[in-house]
Structure 1
Amino acid sequence: MNFNTSVLISIVPALLIVRGLRRFLDLPVRMPRFNALLNHIWVPGVVLMGLAYLFEWKSDQLDEFYIFIVLSIVVLVLIRLSFYRPARTLLLAVAPYTLYAAIELLIAVTGRDLLKEYDDVFETSQGFAFIWLFTFLFIARSQKKSLEAERLQREEEEKAKRLIEAQNAELERLVAERTSTLTQQTEELREALTELRTTQAQLIQAEKMASLGELTAGIAHEIQNPLNFVTNFSDVSAELITELDEERQKSERDPELEAELLEDLRQNLTKITFHGQRAASIVRGMLEHSRASSGERQPTDLNVLADEYLRLAYHGLRAKNKAFNATMNTDFDPNLGQIEAVSQDLGRVLLNLFTNAFYAVHKKQEAHPQDGYVPTVSVRTHRTAENTVEVHVRDNGAGIPEGMQQKIFQPFFTTKPTGEGTGLGLSLSYDIVTKGHGGTLTVESEEGTGTEFIITLPA
Structure 2
Amino acid sequence: MLNALMMVSNAFISLSYFIIASLLLLPFLKGKQKTPLVLVTILVFFSCALGHGGHVLLLLEQGHQTRTSLLLPLQVGIDLSTAMIAGIYIALRHSYASLINGPLLLTQTQDQLTETLDVLAHMNENLESMVQTRTMALSKANEQLEYEIAKRKQAETASQQLLEQSEQQAQLLRTVIDSTPDWIFAKDHNFRYIFVNQGYASALNQTPEMMLGKDDLELGFPEELVLGNLEQGREGFRADDQRVLAGQIIHNPHDPATDANGSLHIFDTQKFPLFDAKGQIFAVLGFARDITRHKQAEKALQESEGRLQAILDNSPAVIYLKDTEGRFLSANRQFQTIFRLSQTEIVGKSNHDIFPPALAAAFHANDQSVLQAGAAIQWEEEALQEDGLHTYLSLKFPLFDADENAYAVCGMSTDITERKQTEVALQQSEAQLREKARQLEQTLLELRRTQTQLVQTEKMSSLGQLVAGVAHEINNPVNFIYGNLIPAGDYIQDLLQLLALYQQHYPKPLPMIEAEIAAIDLNFIVADLPKLLSSMKTGAERIRQIVLTLRNFSRLDEAERKTVNLHEGIDSTLLLLQHRFKAKPDQIKITVLKDYADLPLVECYAGQLNQVLMNLLTNAIDALEEKYAEEPTQIALPTIHIQTEQLNSEWVRIQIADNGAGIPEAIQPRLFDPFFTTKAIGQGTGLGLSISYQIVTETHGGKLQYQSTPQQGTTFVIDLPLRHLHKSHGK
TM bucket by the smaller chain? 0.3 to 0.5
What is the TM-score when the length of structure 1 is the normalising length?
0.45
What is the TM-score when the length of structure 2 is the normalising length?
0.29
Q: Higher helix proportion, which one?
A: 1
Greater C-alpha radius of gyration: 2
Higher relative contact order (CA 8 A, sep 6+): 1
